Structure 1
Amino acid sequence: MAKDTEKKTDLSVQIAEAIKTAIISGELIVDERLPSEAELTEQFGVSRSTVREALKRLAAQNLIRTQRGATGGAFVNRLRFEDAYGHQITTSTLLLSMNDVDFETACEARFVLERACAPLAAARRSSDHLATMRAEIHRQSQPGLSDEAFCASDVAFHRALVDGAGNPVLSYQLAGAVEAIEPLMNMITFTARDRARIVALHTDIADAVERRDGGAASAALTALEQETQALAASVLASRAAARSNA
């Protein structure tokens, strides 16, 4: 592990990046104990507080874990896909909000990715995935359900569909699509959408997945995309008209 002393960035960031690089390259392997704080202090020529800050950064990324006691210290963690969902969702949300991605582009991306999962979900879904989808459809059908709760249920339904594909890499990649893009889309369409229509389309998707009919599940997702795009176009046109008349 080596530190680039030429960069004018915080030393703790440089040290954390050096250790992270060693983990990614395989120089440090899963469950391996990192050098002690004293050893890292000497190796990098910095204070112990700087080393501790670097270790905190790595722990926040779930790259290392710490253990107390005589056999304790900092150890390379086995990063699970589930542990990285949060970072994927946060990054996706920031990218969308900071780069002014239009609704049509975001919607297209989300449904293209989700349709890729539909045939796999139909073939591989477990009874638990299907039960979750059915439970969320039931929840969405309840009178008096708040817009916030409906949107959360919408996300949970599609999360179950994606996870039903049984592919952790796809689940990780689509975490941003389902849990970042979809909530942003809901912020635009929730005032205009017909809940009964959404529930009917979700039911079509769940029915297809239960029959293990990937083609029908994909077709139902396409119908949902068309419904969503039409709603957004209507809402955005109304907003534009209101601004022009103001």
Structure 2
Amino acid sequence: MTPSSEGAGVADDRPTPSREPRVVGNVPAGVAVRRVRKAYEQVADQLRELIVTSELAVGQRLPSESALAAEFGVSRATIREALRVLAAQGLIRTAKGASGGSFVTLPTVDHISSFVHDNVNLLTETKRVTLEELLEARELVEVPAARLAAQRRSEDDIARLRETVPDDDARLGTSEEFTYNSEFHTCMLDASRNTLLTVSAAPIFSVLQTNLARSSLGRQFHREIHRHHLRILEAVEACDPDGAEAEMRDHLAFLRPWYEKAWKRAASGRSRR
């Protein structure tokens, strides 16, 4: 493995004898100063580049920490920190034991969506993100996704979508209703064939459901949801992008007042604890 085609190794982070006294003082005005990147960041950058350019293949085992330290000219502690960064980004996985080590992987849509979900949920809990912002973001992403789904859907997409719309006479609990609801929107996003729309919308929808799952929205509400989903599905199946866009916009507009009421009740319940 070669660290980089533009130069092997990084700045050595091991102590070296000082040859000349270093001058430290105020930087003159107007002089641009760039932060010197830490050694582990430089190592992580070079390994990341090798992974995303497929010079390191998915499933390939990285050299040992000692071998990487020698190749990059840094300490094992620096290599360990760089590997932690890559693991957090879903670019490597680490296995223990005699056959273990660090193996190249790539982040999946689910992995990225889960990461974004956790952070959006944290922002919501700290009141940095409002319900209005969540609903607005959902509309900006899911309405175009419905339009693309009508243009790009396959027969398998239609079959999957139909499975997410239960019969009106089905006796489903609240958690089951939310599961069907979530699967419908997930399938719609998948049918758009746009990974970034899926990554953007799925965590927003999930955070909304997490905050509303315990709400008593009622049987009539869920029946109306089924009818909305069916109309969106019919427009997508008919390859009608204008219709799918309009039906999704109408669906989200219908949800808004219900979500606002449920959100206020949930917030009131939390404040009484």
Query: Mapping of 1:1-246 within 5 angstroms?
Result: 2=10, 17-26=41-50, 29-30=53-54, 32=56, 34-41=62-69, 43-46=73-76, 51=79, 55=83, 58-59=86-87, 61-65=89-93, 74-138=102-166, 141=168, 143-186=170-213, 190=217, 194-235=221-262
Q: Any unmatched runs of 5+ in structure 1?
A: 6-13
Distance 1:238 1:78 in 2: 41
Give the 3-state SS of the residue equivalent to 2:90 in structure 1.
coil
8 A Cα contact 1:110 1:182, kept in partner: no
Which deviates further from its counterpart, 51-60 or 123-132?
A: 51-60
1:109-136 Cα distance to aligned partner (Å, 9 max, x none) = 1122100111110011122221122111
Give the 3-state SS of the residue equivalent to 1:101 in structure 2.
coil
8 A Cα contact 2:139 2:249, kept in partner: yes
Query: Which amino acid is the alignment partner of residue 176 of structure 2?
Result: A
8 A Cα contact 2:212 2:263, kept in partner: no
Distance 2:115 2:268 in 1: 38
Distance 2:119 2:266 in 1: 28
8 A Cα contact 1:107 1:185, kept in partner: no
Identity of aligned residues (%): 27
The alpha carbon displacement at 1:160 in A equals 0.4
Larger Rg: 2
Query: Which amino acid is the alignment partner of residue 141 of structure 2?
Result: L
The alpha carbon displacement at 1:88 in A equals 2.4
Distance 2:163 2:79 in 1: 48
Q: Any unmatched runs of 5+ in structure 2?
A: 1-8, 14-37
Distance 1:57 1:148 in 2: 36
Match of 2:3 in 1: none
More contact order relative to length (CA 8 Å, sep ≥ 6): 1
Give the 3-state SS of the residue equivalent to 2:166 in structure 1.
helix
Distance 2:255 2:12 in 1: 49
8 A Cα contact 2:215 2:266, kept in partner: no
What is the aligned length? 231
**CA 1:16–1:195 in structure 2 vs 1: closer, same or farther (change >3 Å)?**
farther
